Amino acid sequence: MRAARVLLRPVGLVGFGLLVLVLLVAVFGPVLWDGRATVVDTGNLLAGPSAGHWIGTDNLGRDLFFRVLVATRLSIALALAATAISMVLGIVLGAAPLLVGRRAGRLVMGAVNVLVAFPGLLLVLFFAVIFGVGARGAALAVGLAGAPAFARLCHTLIAGISERDYIAAARIAGVSRLRILLRHALPNIAQPLIVNATMAAGGALLTFAGLSFLGLGVQAPSYDWGKLMQDGLNGIYVHPLAALGPGIAVILAGLAFNLTGEAFAAAFGIDVIPGVVRPRQVRNTPGKIRGSGATTASADAGTVLSVEDLRVTIPAARNPIRAVRGVTFAIRDGEAVGVVGESGSGKSMTALALAQLIEEPTRVEANHLVFGGEDLMAAGDPESRRKRLGTSLAVVFQDPMTSFNPVHRVGPQLAEVSRFHQGLSRRAAFARAVDRLRAVKVREPERRARQYPFEFSGGMRQRAMIGMGLMGTPRLIIADEPTTALDVTVQRQVLELLTEVRRDTGAALLLISHDVSVVTDVCDRVLVMYAGRIVEELPAQDLRTLARHPYTRALVAAVPDMETDLTKPLAVIPGLPIDPSRVPPGCAFAARCPLADDHCRAAEPRLQADAAGNRVACHKAGQALPTDTAEVTA
Ligand SMILES: Nc1ncnc2c1ncn2[C@@H]1O[C@H](COP(=O)(O)OP(=O)(O)OP(=O)(O)O)[C@@H](O)[C@H]1O
């Protein structure tokens, strides 16, 4: 237990001990000592410390020590109330991009950033004047003034997890934004938020003391530490303890909160300074439409997905990054299509665009993008579209560690899909989740469904992810490098499972991999991508022998098989992929191609189909390579 370890550190022990003491005094102080704190002793006005009055009396002869103890409750209550206001408002504002979309969210965060730039005390004074003097006004003022900092922290933390696959999975399942926030985002950022709240409460204590001291906070006859300090200030030269006593209480309580927060932060490895997690630029987003007449949902019968001229562009300060540059293909019902290519060739971007998981500022454009008869480029709310797609499209992500929300049990996460889409009761949805876990060969599914993701092995998590896709009736499963993070034996099991699922459900499969042998084993057809384009399409069984594009042949040669001469160094493709923000004229592969000539460097080859329907984009398609097998150089 990391929380328990906090108490083993001196800082944690002192802070936590002090905090418990302060809270006990806050709860029981008024009950135990209110009488002694309010007794007026006219014979002892403004008396100094004595055996009867440890830190003296005030101008009505009331015992200051007991007044400080009794004031603990109001002081702590105000600090906690203000922190709660800051936190709730901060979470709402910080989650704005998630709740109301990127564009409106950016406006909100812009305003938040301006407010963060203001000195905190200035904001407090501003709000205190607006809400009026008194405890309630002060609590609102301190709460509101603290909200921007929380908003920024919350925004940063949410941005840090919004790329996680379990958030994407929830989006694909069509879960509402509010539910994603409450169920998937907040539980995963709770630790740093609570640690920061603890420390903010310490800061709020000081601010309240300042406000009351200035006469803007608590008003007589109520009193908090600040009010006591203000009263004591009048006689500071004759009776300094009257002001020092409550001052020391503020410092001790502030220390208690801050030390406890620090100790928890250290134990949980949390950076309490906001702004350490940078959001990635690409986010889940609506698509944009180009062209007009071609956008009607005119999929051929038997075609589950039809894509024409898909483009994904990421805006950048200088040149936009053209991650996908006009991809056209179709998948028939039940067919398995593989996408191969080196890292950065645009495979994942294509998949994310198909799953409607790309958001502004990244632009998705296509002449035609139809899934299951639904025009995905049609105007309309992408969220409601995703909701409709929810059960017919399943996505399996690369990293089984991030596919599930770590704070929820696996069964309920699967069940969420059925509760949301099929309106099943909690019990019925859970039963279906158990059934689906059984279908993907998770042993003891009833017990496993009640376990947390960390109790699953990587392969089992990946099976469970496939099981989640099967909660609906998927017509297409998009699997983006589903086995990359797994060891070889488990890889095979997951691939076999995908094949079985396909056979049993009739779902089509789009399998993305940089591993040529994986797609040749599992798929019917292969799309080879390079620099954001499809450069070749052919039956998977022909990939090793009949590939015509020099790039495809180089990819194949780079994978050793039983006939590879292991006495020679393994083949690699010479050179580096192009920078997608600076696409050269002509063929993007020309600089690395042993066959390239001036024509290749000047004119971009079109993707052309032959009589068999295979496609290749190369001026030199099928030509013999210059040296022995050697588009490949060691
Ligand atoms: N957030 C981003 N910001 C800038 N460029 C990006 C971002 N995400 C992707 N890209 C660029 O877009 C191009 C396509 O990326 P994509 O992830 O689709 O490639 P990939 O073929 O799936 O690669 P990998 O196999 O490594 O996942 C790459 O050049 C990549 O650098």
| Model ipTM over 0.90 | yes
The pLDDT, as a whole number, for residue 296 is 33
**H/E/C letters for each residue in 117-143?**
HCCHHHHHHHHHHHHCCCHHHHHHHHH
Instruction: Give the span between the Cα atoms of 145 and 355, in whole angstroms.
Output: 40
Pair (465, 540) in one structural domain: no
487 has a pLDDT exceeding 80 = no
Residue 293: pLDDT band (50, 70, 90) is very low
The pLDDT, as a whole number, for residue 440 is 86
Instruction: Give the span between the Cα atoms of 416 and 79, in whole angstroms.
Output: 38
* CA nearest to 449, candidates 474, 468, 424: 468
Instruction: Give the span between the Cα atoms of 83 and 275, in whole angstroms.
Output: 20
The pLDDT, as a whole number, for residue 388 is 65
CB contact at 8 A, 351 and 168 = no
Classify residue 385: in a domain, yes or no.
yes
Cα-to-centroid distance, 322 and ligand 1 (Å): 10
The pLDDT, as a whole number, for residue 329 is 95
Q: pLDDT digit string (tens) for 374-410?
A: 888 876 666 666 666 767 888 888 776 777 888 889 9
Cα-to-centroid distance, 349 and ligand 1 (Å): 7
Pairing of strands 393-396, 363-366: unpaired
All residues at 6 or more sequence positions from 255 whose CB lies less than 8 Å from its CB, including other chains = 15, 18, 202
Identify the three-state secondary structure at position 325.
Answer: strand
Residue 6: pLDDT band (50, 70, 90) is low
The pLDDT, as a whole number, for residue 381 is 67
365 has a pLDDT exceeding 80 = yes
Q: What are phi and psi of 357, to 5 degrees?
A: -110, 25
Maximal C-alpha separation, the chain: 112
Report which secondary-structure segment, H or E, holds 405. none
Give the residue from 424, 440, 471 where a domain finishes. 471
* Atom from ligand 1 closest to the CA of residue 341: 21
Ligand 1 close to Cβ of residue 514 (< 6 A): yes
28-32, 363-367, 526-530: range with highest mean pLDDT = 526-530
* Atom from ligand 1 closest to the CA of residue 514: 25
Ligand 1 close to Cβ of residue 346 (< 6 A): yes
567 has a pLDDT exceeding 50 = yes
Pair (201, 329) in one structural domain: no
Instruction: Give the span between the Cα atoms of 199 and 272, in whole angstroms.
Output: 9
The pLDDT, as a whole number, for residue 27 is 94
C-alpha to C-alpha distances, 301 to 297, 305, 333, 415, 527, nearest whole angstrom: 11, 11, 9, 32, 22
Pair (78, 185) in one structural domain: yes
C-alpha to C-alpha distances, 617 to 75, 428, 585, nearest whole angstrom: 74, 51, 14
Q: What are phi and psi of 61, to 5 degrees?
A: 80, 15
Cα-to-centroid distance, 303 and ligand 1 (Å): 28
Pair (467, 496) in one structural domain: no
Ligand 1 close to Cβ of residue 577 (< 6 A): no
Length of the chain: 634
Instruction: Give the span between the Cα atoms of 189 and 530, in whole angstroms.
Output: 38
298 has a pLDDT exceeding 60 = no
Please give the average per-residue pLDDT across 287-308, as a whole number: 54
Q: pLDDT digit string (tens) for 528-563?
A: 999 999 999 999 999 988 999 999 998 888 776 656
Pair (8, 107) in one structural domain: yes
* CA nearest to 512, candidates 482, 488, 535: 482
Q: Which residues pair with 303 in a beta bridge?
A: 332
Pair (101, 14) in one structural domain: yes
Pair (567, 477) in one structural domain: yes
Give the residue from 445, 471, 497 where a domain finishes. 471
- The single-letter DSSP state of residue 623 is P
Pair (316, 446) in one structural domain: no
**Mutational pocket test of ligand 1: of 349, 395, 397, 515, the residue with most ligand atoms within 8 Å of the beta carbon:** 349
Least confident of 68-77, 97-106, 160-169: 160-169
The pLDDT, as a whole number, for residue 69 is 94
- Residue closest via CA to ligand 1's atom 8 equals 282
Classify residue 607: in a domain, yes or no.
yes
Q: What are phi and psi of 101, to 5 degrees?
A: 95, 160
Instruction: Give the span between the Cα atoms of 412 and 419, in whole angstroms.
Output: 10
Instruction: Give the span between the Cα atoms of 192 and 276, in whole angstroms.
Output: 12
294 has a pLDDT exceeding 60 = no
Please give the average per-residue pLDDT across 252-259, as a whole number: 89
The pLDDT, as a whole number, for residue 616 is 94
- Residue closest via CA to ligand 1's atom 25 equals 343
45 has a pLDDT exceeding 70 = yes
The pLDDT, as a whole number, for residue 562 is 59
285 has a pLDDT exceeding 50 = no
Higher pLDDT, 211 or 19: 19
The pLDDT, as a whole number, for residue 4 is 66
Instruction: Give the span between the Cα atoms of 211 and 226, in whole angstroms.
Output: 7
Classify residue 281: in a domain, yes or no.
no
Domain count, the chain: 3
pTM: 0.65
93 has a pLDDT exceeding 60 = yes
Higher pLDDT, 47 or 609: 609
Q: Which residues pair with 365 in a beta bridge?
A: 288, 311
Residue 276: pLDDT band (50, 70, 90) is very low
| Domain of residue 446, residue span | 409-471
Pair (338, 231) in one structural domain: no
Give the residue from 471, 489, 524 where a domain finishes. 471
DSSP string, 465-502: HHHHHTTS--SEEEEESTTTTS-HHHHHHHHHHHHHHH
428 class by beta-carbon count within 10 Å (0-12 exposed, 13-18 middle, 19+ buried): middle
Classify residue 630: in a domain, yes or no.
no
622: left (phi over 0), alpha (psi -120 to 50) or beta: left
**Mutational pocket test of ligand 1: of 282, 348, 358, the residue with most ligand atoms within 8 Å of the beta carbon:** 348
The pLDDT, as a whole number, for residue 281 is 37
Cα-to-centroid distance, 281 and ligand 1 (Å): 11
Cα-to-centroid distance, 358 and ligand 1 (Å): 12
Pair (115, 76) in one structural domain: yes
Classify residue 67: in a domain, yes or no.
yes
Q: What are phi and psi of 63, to 5 degrees?
A: -70, 120
- The single-letter DSSP state of residue 590 is G
Instruction: Give the span between the Cα atoms of 137 and 87, in whole angstroms.
Output: 17
The pLDDT, as a whole number, for residue 280 is 34
Cα-to-centroid distance, 343 and ligand 1 (Å): 7
Pair (371, 264) in one structural domain: no
Q: End-to-end CA distance of the chain, in Å?
A: 52
Higher pLDDT, 368 or 488: 368
Classify residue 429: in a domain, yes or no.
yes
Ligand 1 close to Cβ of residue 314 (< 6 A): yes
Cα-to-centroid distance, 167 and ligand 1 (Å): 19
Higher pLDDT, 52 or 33: 33
Cα-to-centroid distance, 363 and ligand 1 (Å): 14
Cα-to-centroid distance, 323 and ligand 1 (Å): 6
**H/E/C letters for each residue in 253-310?**
HHHHHHHHHHHHHHHHCCCCCCCCCCCCCCECCCCEECCCHHHCCCCCCCEEEEEEEE
Ligand 1 close to Cβ of residue 427 (< 6 A): no
Cα-to-centroid distance, 346 and ligand 1 (Å): 6
524 has a pLDDT exceeding 90 = yes
Q: pLDDT exceeding 70 applies to what percent of the chain?
A: 87
Classify residue 633: in a domain, yes or no.
no
* CA nearest to 621, candidates 603, 608, 602: 608
75 has a pLDDT exceeding 60 = yes
Please give the average per-residue pLDDT across 210-214, as a whole number: 81
Chain centre to alpha carbon of residue 466: 21
Classify residue 279: in a domain, yes or no.
no
Please give the average per-residue pLDDT across 439-452, as a whole number: 90
DSSP string, 554-567: HHHHTS--TT--TT
CB contact at 8 A, 479 and 338 = no
Pair (252, 324) in one structural domain: no
Q: How large is the C-alpha radius of gyration of the chain? A: 32
259 has a pLDDT exceeding 50 = yes
Residue 71: pLDDT band (50, 70, 90) is very high
**Other beta carbons less than 10 A from residue 186's beta carbon:** 17
Please give the average per-residue pLDDT across 162-166, as a whole number: 72
C-alpha to C-alpha distances, 505 to 421, 472, 474, 477, 492, nearest whole angstrom: 19, 11, 8, 11, 20
Q: pLDDT digit string (tens) for 587-621?
A: 999 999 988 899 999 999 999 998 888 999 999 98
- Residue closest via CA to ligand 1's atom 12 equals 323
The pLDDT, as a whole number, for residue 570 is 65
Ligand 1 close to Cβ of residue 347 (< 6 A): yes
Tokens representing 386? Answer: 């995703």
Tokens representing 528? Answer: 């080879």
CATH of the domain at 197: 1.10.3720.10
The pLDDT, as a whole number, for residue 196 is 84
DSSP string, 59-93: TT--BHHHHHHHHHHHHHHHHHHHHHHHHHHHHHH
